[in-house]
Chains A and B, each alone.
Chain A
Amino acid sequence: MQFGIFTVGDLTTDPTTGQTPTEHARIKAMLTIAQKVEEVGLDVFATGEHHNPPFVPSSPTTMLGYIAAKTERIILSTATTLITTSDPVKIAEDFAMLQHVADGRVDLTLGRGNTGPVYPWFGQDIRQGIPLALENYALLRRLWREDFVDWEGQFRTPLQGFQSTPRPLDGVPPFVWHGSIRSPEIAEQAAYYGDGFFSNHIFWPASHTAKMVKYYRNRFEHYGHGTAAQAMVGLGGQVFMRKNSQDAKRDFRPYFDNAPVYGNGPSMEEFTSQTPLTVGSPQEVIDRTLGFRDYVGDYQRQLWLMDHAGLPLKTVLEQLDLLGEEVVPVLRKEFAKNRPANVPDGPTHESLVLAAAQAPAAAASVGRDDLDTSAAIAPHRRANGAAFGLAGAGTIGA
């Protein structure tokens, strides 16, 4: 089980002081927070990607490259990388480069983005969001897995004999999570490839997350990647802690009441009862987080949103200390209890290298001809052809 934080990278006025950080200060704060993630013993730092104010992280691999140099252990990730409006060729190159720079400590979460104007700014149409996500990712996979790619699609200029460089570290592409709040198409896509599914989880009721994750798990099994319980699930979360629960509520309330996402809407009490947001003591956060397992099953990655709504850096660092000292050690121990041995841990470069080395033998031993991870191009020829009746689907990598 991996624990970490994800950041939106918003520039929000601190409602208690009226101060808004400069872009420079906010970017530096994000870099400080990332290093703190390693210092307090968490496992993952993930940054958002945005191309409009008030958000600063437009260039995630630049930021993650710096963090790679300043850390030794944590996984550098995204939440999310825009698969719709970014050229999949550039994503393939940027993240393969980051993989080498960071010695493999890299994965990414793909998302569509919901800011309307970003699509036309990058020459796309938001109404094509799902088709863009599907086609761009199909190309991204091939760029990482095939040395020379001939390709033609609906959205991008065709490629003839293109080689994306550098090649992925050790021949193993970064692990990919697909993030979606409510599109079954994306859960289906994640399941089809046997990739991870990351549920934002925050801002929406848990019952909704439970249904999406269940759907993804069932489809993961349907496509032959393992049992539903072995699917790769990541969850978001959102907490604010003080040693004493009442202090937490008092200190967070002005930030809640003015937060861009839910400010001026439901009360903090309503919102905490209806969504995973937890404002209270470390013990309350532990209890609530352990409860996630009751409705999504044993999962692989828990990320929290900590630096939002104008919270100052000092407060965020205090929160990370509490996470590292009081919350995560208990969660590691408790989540390990009764966890079936065949449920995988969170993916790492090392685990993927190992799996790639074992895959051909494993596939041969069960006589599968539709799971060819040594080529890893068209992982589900049989399932795909049967389910969709598309002759072309089997020729993706042929």
Chain B
Amino acid sequence: MTERTLAVVSAGLSQPSSTRLLADKLATATVARLADEGITTTVLTYELRDYAQDIMNNMLTGFANPRLEEMIEAVTAADGLIAVTPIFTTSYSGLFKTFFDVIDNRSLTDQPVLIGATAGTPRHSLALDYALRPMFTYLHAVVVPTAVFAASEDWGTGDGGRVDSRVQTLPARIERAAGELSALVARSARSSRVQDPFELPAGFNPAGMFPPR
């Protein structure tokens, strides 16, 4: 049986949270796609609110406490990541950004990532492409083409009986994004890779990088 791990990071604040709801829907759809290919997926879901103090302490002290460190290791070692934030003041929430600020900026390299966001109005939907996508590109993650945005009104639209079939509904967008992510997760060996924190750069010479003369 092939196994994969999928990390889900949600920066929703309220209880219940539409951000978490979207994150769960994306995870469920991705797990179903992977199951179609005979892959069993372990989903690890983290609400950043639960780690808010730890994240800010890390920002101030420079190190993660044991609880946060365990969570960061689980997220960065997963075969895929679903990252969902509410849009605050036209961008990701500060808590969401702070989490990605405190992790090592090399730790998401090559990781398949599906980004999602929620807001009260569809006018914020481009925040996914001008804020979240560039951030993950900077981190050298592989962000799937479809990013999923859910405005309040999306929660009241179904996938059948629409007059205008040119408009993709939320369930359809979730399905397409899940298909894109699951294809990358299926091929990932990330969670079984052994990480060597002491790995030296290729060509490293302790006597200096410049050939001595």
Please report the C-alpha to C-alpha distance between residue A204 and residue B65 in the assembled complex, in whole angstroms.
9
Q: Name B211's contact: one of A193, A208, A390 (CB within 8 Å).
A: A390
Give CA–CA (A205, B68) in the complex, Å: 13
Given A188-B204, A270-B57: A153 touches B210 (CB 8 Å cut-off): yes
| Smallest beta-carbon distance B186→chain A, Å | 33
A86 at the interface (CB under 8 A from B): no
A131-B210, A151-B212, A203-B63 provided; 16 other pairs, C-beta below 8 A? A134-B207, A153-B208, A153-B212, A154-B210, A185-B200, A185-B201, A187-B198, A204-B63, A205-B66, A264-B60, A266-B61, A384-B207, A390-B211, A392-B211, A396-B207, A396-B212
Cβ-based interface call for A192 (8 A): yes
Contacts of A148 in B (CB 8 A): none
Q: Could you list which residues of chain A lie within 8 angstroms of chain B, going by C-beta atoms? A: 131, 134-135, 138, 150-155, 184-185, 187-189, 191-193, 203-205, 208, 211, 215, 261-266, 270-271, 274, 384, 388, 390, 392-393, 395-396
Do B66 and A274 touch (CB < 8 A)? Answer: yes
Give a binary string over B183-213; 1 marks a CB under 8 Å from any A CB, 0 the rest. Answer: 0000000000000011111011111111111
CA distance A153 to B198 in the complex (A): 26
Chain B residues lying within 8 Å of A388, measured Cβ to Cβ, are: 203-205
Measured between beta carbons, the chain A residues less than 8 angstroms from B66 are 205, 274
Whether B56 is near chain A, meaning CB under 8 Å from some CB there, is yes
Query: In the assembly, what is the distance between CA of A360 and CA of B6, in Å?
Result: 59
**Distance (Å) between the CB of B207 and the closest chain A CB?**
5
Q: Are A274 and B65 also in contact (CB < 8 A) when A262-B60, A265-B60 are? A: yes
Q: Chain A's nearest CB lies how many Å from the CB of B52?
A: 13
Are B208 and A262 in touch, CB under 8 angstroms? no
Also in contact, A393 and B62, with CB within 8 A (given A138-B212, A184-B198) = no
Can you list, as one digit per residue, whether each of B58-86 has a CB less than 8 Å from chain A (1) or not (0)? 00111101100000000000000000000
Find chain B residues with CB under 8 A from A263 CB: 60
Q: Establish whether residues B210 and A188, one from each chain, have CB atoms under 8 Å apart when the complex forms.
A: no
Binding site for A on B (CB under 8 A): 56-57, 60-63, 65-66, 197-201, 203-213
- Quick one: which of B61, B203, B211 contacts A262, CB cutoff 8 A? B61
Task: List A contacts of B212 (CB < 8 A).
Answer: 138, 151, 153, 392-393, 395-396
Bound CA span A331–B186, Å = 56
16 of the cross-chain contacts (CB-CB < 8 Å) are A131-B208, A131-B210, A134-B206, A151-B213, A153-B208, A154-B208, A184-B198, A185-B200, A188-B200, A203-B62, A203-B63, A204-B62, A265-B60, A265-B61, A266-B65, A274-B65
Please report the C-alpha to C-alpha distance between residue A264 and residue B59 in the assembled complex, in whole angstroms.
11
CB distance B57 to A185 under 8 Å? no
Q: B197 to chain A: which residues have CB within 8 Å?
A: 184, 211
Complex Cα spacing A134 to B210, Å: 9
User: How close is A393's CB to chain B, nearest CB, in angstroms?
Assistant: 6
Q: Can you list the 9 inter-chain pairs with the closest CB atoms, starting with the nearest?
A: A265-B60, A192-B206, A135-B208, A154-B210, A392-B211, A184-B198, A189-B206, A134-B208, A138-B208
Task: Give complex CA distance A152, B208 in Å.
Answer: 12
A193 to B208, CA, bound (A): 12
User: Which residues of chain B come closer than 8 Å to A154, judged between CB atoms?
Assistant: 208-210
Closest Cβ–Cβ distance, residue B158 to chain A (whole Å): 48
**A339 CB, min distance to chain B CBs, angstroms:** 27
Q: Which residue of B lies closest to A128 (CB)?
A: B209
**Interface pair A265/B56, CB less than 8 Å apart:** yes
Give the distance to chain B from A141, nearest Cβ to Cβ, in Å: 9
**Contact with A393, one of B57, B60, B199, B207 (Cβ below 8 angstroms):** B207
Residues in B whose Cβ lies below 8 Å from that of A189: 206
List chain A residues, Cβ under 8 A from B209.
131, 134-135, 154
> Which residues on A sit within 8 Å (CB–CB) of B200?
184-185, 188
- B69 vs chain A, min Cβ distance (A): 8
